[in-house]
Structure formats: C-alpha cells, structure tokens
Amino acid sequence: MNAHNCFPPASLPDAEILILGSMPGRVSLEKNQYYAHPRNLFWHFMQLFFAIDVNAPYQERISDLNKNKVALWDVLSQCEREGSLDVNINIQTEQANDIAGFLSQHKGITKICFNGQKSFSSFKKHILKKMPELEQRYELVVLSSTSPANASIPREKKLAQWRNALLSVSG
C-alpha cells in the first residue's frame, strides 16, 4: 500500500461553498493538482458553471474558482491506498483534515458539497461523529463523483446535480 497526503485547501476567506473530495487520485497527486485526470468531469463542470477555461493553467483555474466563492479540499489528510480508487483506501490508515478549523476561518461558507460517497462517509466518520452540530449549521450535499471511475451515472445526471448544488447557495 502506498501512503498518500492531500493538498492544502484552495480557498479565499470569502468562500461560500466548500467542495470536499476524499483523497486525490494518482494522476492528481503526480501533477499536484486537484482533479487532474483528463477524464474527470470536475473542471469541465466548472467551465460550464463559472466560465473557467478547462485548458487554462492550473493556478488560474483555482483562482477563478475561488473568485466564484468556491473552496476545494479533501476530507482525508492522509491514507494508504493502492491505485486511485476510493474503494482501495485502507480505512485503518485514514486521518482527517481539520475541517472544523477550516470552517471557523471561513465564516461565509453555508454549503458543503461532497464529491462522491466516500468523501461524505469519511466526513461522517471523522468529523460529524465529533461535531454533529455541523449538520444543522451547514447544508450538506452529497454529489455523484466526477471521477472517471464513476461511469455508472450518466454525465447529464451528474451535471444536473452539480449545477443545482453550485448555482443555488442558501443563505
């Protein structure tokens, strides 16, 4: 099993939405970029919603996303996993990021979106278990993973879920 560490959060203090993944996949880790796999739909969706050029340099895409008040991070700070699939994460090695600390520094966040079931299950296990009040304080939205491994859900269905979540901020 290979040990993996997540990236630092990509955010500005005025963020309103936090998107949480579980742990970056192999291609993302190699490129040191969130959602770097060419078949991952994440940046394609961001292009549709926020006019972020999917072909722009990574830092420009992150900056544009942050300007739209969207922050990115992962629930897990580290874990052991073979390959890229969430199903291969050794749950005994999961260590969570300080999501509560992050939220206390980003008071404008009202919605937390989970990019796939694994990010939400890890959030429940490591964060909500210790701080169940977060469930009342934030709108928690579990979305279909944008990963190419999640091919059983049609792209249009994923797109509709993501559009609804990101373009309707409660407040």
pLDDT of 80 over the 80 cut: no
* Residue 62: φ, ψ to 5°: -60, -45
Distance CA 152, CA 144 (A): 10
Give the model confidence (pLDDT) of 88-109 as tens digits.
Answer: 566 787 789 999 999 999 999 9
Distance CA 44, CA 53 (A): 8
Tokens, residue 121: 């299950």
Tokens, residue 86: 């969430």
Distance CA 7, CA 65 (A): 16
Q: How far from chain centre, in Å, is Cα 37? A: 14
- Residue 40 is a catalytic residue: yes
pLDDT > 90 fraction of the chain, expressed in percent and rounded: 73
Three-class SS state of 24: coil
pLDDT of 39 over the 60 cut: yes
pLDDT of 63 over the 80 cut: yes
All structural domains of the chain: 2-166 (3.40.470.10)
Q: Residue 26 corresponds to which amino acid? A: R
Q: Model pTM? A: 0.92
Residue 169 is given by DSSP the state: -
**Active-site residue, from 2, 5, 32, 40:** 40
